[in-house]
């Protein structure tokens, strides 16, 4: 107790509500009826507490009902379970802009950018510093991306602010550094 005293009839109702909240998941009380949901058998969340899964359902129930989310945004099941077979053009043509962004992240910006004939803004001789690219996305012309190779040898394409002028500046931005600090970190 936190020092609040309720009349006996309120305490009894509140005790029922507390018991219900402990024994189920969501519930919606209406006059004369209550809809109650069992607890999920699977619940995936990201670091911000949003529903999220990179490989399948973010929330699933014992009856097989499932919800698919990418960092809090509902997405079609196929996007997470069959991402290698998705045409990257879908990330450019899907009606919902937020879901388009999610799909680009799911399948990788690199696959999406290839569809757009990117313009090279700046290319550094070191692939670990990368190549700064500019593309016109639907509803967002002049977007920029840094194509960079990580120490594992894999290439990544990362969105960067449109005011970036060089690959080095964009690389520094991805680490939250200034261009001068980025040089001091050992980048050529």
Would you place residue 185 in the very low, low, confident or very high pLDDT band (cuts 50, 70, 90)? low
Predicted local distance difference test score (pLDDT) of residue 187? 55
Between CA 175 and CA 126 the distance in angstroms is: 17
* Residue 149, strand partner residues: 155
Predicted local distance difference test score (pLDDT) of residue 124? 94
pLDDT(116) > 90:
no
Share of the chain above pLDDT 90, in %: 59
The model's pTM: 0.69
Rounded to an integer, what is the distance from CA 143 to the centroid of its chain? 19
CB 158 within 8 A of CB 131: no
Predicted local distance difference test score (pLDDT) of residue 36? 87
Would you place residue 153 in the very low, low, confident or very high pLDDT band (cuts 50, 70, 90)? confident
pLDDT digits (tens, 9 = 90+) for 9-40: 888 888 888 888 888 888 888 999 988 889 99
CB 148 within 8 A of CB 129: yes
Compute the mean pLDDT over every residue in the chain, rounded to the nearest whole number: 90
Between CA 73 and CA 59 the distance in angstroms is: 13
Between CA 6 and CA 146 the distance in angstroms is: 61
Q: Which of 57-61, 129-133, 139-143 has the weakest average pLDDT?
A: 139-143
Q: What tokens appear for 116 in the block?
A: 């757009």
How many CA atoms lie within 13 Å of 187's alpha carbon, on the beta-carbon side? Answer: 26
C-alpha dist (Å) from residue 148 to 127, 154, 179: 6, 8, 16
Query: Which is more confident, 3 or 146?
Result: 146
Query: Which is more confident, 172 or 23?
Result: 172
DSSP state of 142: E
């Amino acid at each position: 107790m936190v020092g609040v005293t309720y009349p006996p009839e309120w305490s009894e109702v509140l005790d029922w509500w507390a018991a219900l909240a402990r024994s189920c998941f969501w519930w919606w009380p209406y006059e004369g009826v209550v809809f109650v949901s069992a607890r999920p058998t699977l619940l995936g969340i990201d670091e911000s507490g949003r529903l999220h899964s990179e490989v399948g359902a973010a929330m699933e129930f014992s009856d097989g009902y499932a919800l698919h989310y990418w960092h809090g945004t509902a997405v079609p099941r196929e996007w997470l379970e069959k991402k290698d077979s998705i045409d990257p053009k879908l990330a450019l043509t899907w009606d919902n802009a937020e879901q388009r962004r999610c799909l680009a992240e799911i399948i990788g910006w690199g696959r999406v950018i290839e569809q757009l004939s990117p313009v090279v803004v700046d290319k550094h001789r070191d692939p670990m510093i990368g190549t700064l690219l500019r593309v016109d996305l639907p509803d967002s012309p002049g977007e920029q991306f840094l194509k960079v190779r990580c120490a594992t040898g894999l290439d990544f394409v990362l969105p960067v602010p449109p005011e970036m002028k060089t690959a080095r500046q964009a690389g520094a931005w991805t680490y939250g550094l200034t261009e001068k600090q980025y040089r001091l970190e050992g980048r050529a």
